[in-house]
Amino acid sequence: MNITINKSHTLHTSFTFFVCFMAALAGLLFGLDIGVIAGALPFLSIDLQITDYQKEWVVSSMMFGAAIGAFFSGWISAKFGRKFSLLVGSILFVIGSLWSAFSLNVESLVIARILLGLAVGITSYTAPLYLSEIAPEKIRGSMISMYQLMITIGILVAYLSDTAFSYYGSWRWMLGIITIPAILLFIGVLFLPGSPRWLAFHGKYQEAKKVLNMLRDSTEQVRKELNEIQDSLKIKQSGWKLFKNNNNFRRVVFLGILLQIMQQFTGMNVIMYYAPKIFDLAGFNDTVSQMWGTVCVGLVNVLATFIAIGLVDRWGRKPTLKLGFLVMSVGMIILGILLFFGINDNFQKYFSIIMLMIFIIGFAMSAGPLVWVLCSEIQPLKGRDFGITVSTATNWLANMIVGATFLTMLEIFGSSNTFLFYGLLNFTFIIITAVFVPETKNISLESIEKNLMQGKLLRNIGK
């Protein structure tokens, strides 16, 4: 008897682990596709003979696709299911990776990047949603930060693989190798169960029960969770109607938009996409040190994410976010000042890179994970799908604007002014956070919703 229980417990645990691993693999691919372009860009620019303007398009076409993907994924995953949506995402990952590796000109590469973007947009909406619907309650909280950790690991792996291929100058391999994890994701998703919440929503209670039986240890637990799902389904998603009629909901949708705009306008992705170029500006002019420098950026990004995971529930969201913006602001402003006076000796060279790393730490310990956490916490249940769709799409649109303007900004305003600009923006974000962002630590989502609907100031809805 005992043996049977233990065996079935192990089976449930490993199945849950497999399910979470697959969804996290989607995060890894998100990161791989963000990171890969930094190392490939210098080589493909020479090979395809493209201008700075076209480079910006190669980079930001993916974000354009992602904004569209994120916008429609709410609908796709509601109508056809989370699993279907992940399947579409993984197929697009495979096609986009192969297509970009075989692109013969810049137009074809841009189309491939839009396809990849659609994949990233769809999965970046669906994977965390699926995770939160399938993960056992006790690990649900840390799931979103873990997802961010997978993104940063994906970026790092992409930088490492770029560096390896850079010795042969083969940008096609850099872009093409991502086909392998994409195929793994596709095969894995085929074995994933449907989301019990989605199944129940579509009246398929028996199937929902079957899935929960596979994932949970006791029938008691399954029964409890099914009841909870049934209760929560009494609240119909009616985001658009709520948005039109309810000022309190509109306020929180705008807060989601604001948070994502702040995350992107920290300037983090300027470094993620153009790191080798920035090392060049700082005086590291050979490709090998630029590539290894970029790997260090990726590593610091992964490691500093652990600071956020440790602080988010202890110290809270708001102080961590403010501190992060301050750190980023200091890093960017000092870098701007150094570039203003010109980087002439080794000390200045390394000092500017230290400032760059300080900026990365500031982002990874705060805005990186916390904005995603906050955006999923502040929306009232009725308008959750709508609110998260809008904020996720905003993330990608703002991401696109930042990616599409960096080289032009360098050209028009110069490197020093560009970094000073981002530094000052980060400084204003401290004030915006103080005025508008609530603390959501240790408070139930229901209480946040109640406070919001009572008309409390946004910054007080977590009190």
Q: Of the two residues 249 and 422, which places its CB atom closer to ligand BGC in the complex?
A: 422
Q: Name which of residues 26 to 55 contact ligand BGC (CB under 6 A).
A: 34
Contact status: 392 vs ligand BGC (CB under 6 A): no
Q: Which amino acid is at 118?
A: L
Using CB under 6 A, pick the residue from 368, 387, 403, 438 that binds ligand BGC.
Answer: 368
**C-alpha torsion sign, points 195, 196, 197, 198:** positive
Q: Of the two residues 248 and 426, which places its CB atom closer to ligand BGC in the complex?
A: 426
Contact status: 120 vs ligand BGC (CB under 6 A): no
Q: Name which of residues 397 to 416 contact ligand BGC (CB under 6 A).
A: 399
Using CB under 6 A, pick the residue from 391, 395, 415, 433 that binds ligand BGC.
Answer: 395
Q: Name which of residues 162 to 181 contact ligand BGC (CB under 6 A).
A: none
Residues 129-148, one symbol each (x = binds ligand BGC by CB under 6 A, - = not), give -------------------x
Q: Which of 283, 304, 279, 301 is nearest to 292 (CA)?
A: 279
Nearest residue to ligand BGC on Cβ basis: 368
The total of other beta-carbon atoms located within 10 Å of residue 47's CB is 13
CB of 40 to ligand BGC, least distance (A): 16
Distance CA 95, CA 103 (A): 12
Size of the site for ligand BGC (CB under 6 A): 13
Q: Which of 67, 332, 46, 90 is nearest to 192 (CA)?
A: 90
Q: Cα 178–267–86 angle (5° rounding)?
A: 35
CA 260 to chain CA centroid, Å, is: 10
> Do 336 and 420 contact (CB within 8 A), yes or no?
yes
Q: Which residue has the tokens 């995770």?
A: 131
Burial bucket for residue 313 (CB in 10 Å: 0-12, 13-18, 19+): middle
Contact status: 151 vs ligand BGC (CB under 6 A): yes
Q: How is residue 162 written in tokens? A: 């770029």
Q: Name which of residues 241 to 300 contact ligand BGC (CB under 6 A).
A: 263, 268-269, 272
Q: Of the two residues 222 and 275, which places its CB atom closer to ligand BGC in the complex?
A: 275
Q: Of the two residues 119 and 242, which places its CB atom closer to ligand BGC in the complex?
A: 119
Name, in order, each residue with C-beta under 8 angstroms of 311's C-beta and a sequence gap of 6 or more: 320, 365
Which spans of this chain sit near ligand BGC (rule: CB under 6 A)? 34, 148, 151-152, 155, 263, 268-269, 272, 301, 368, 395, 399
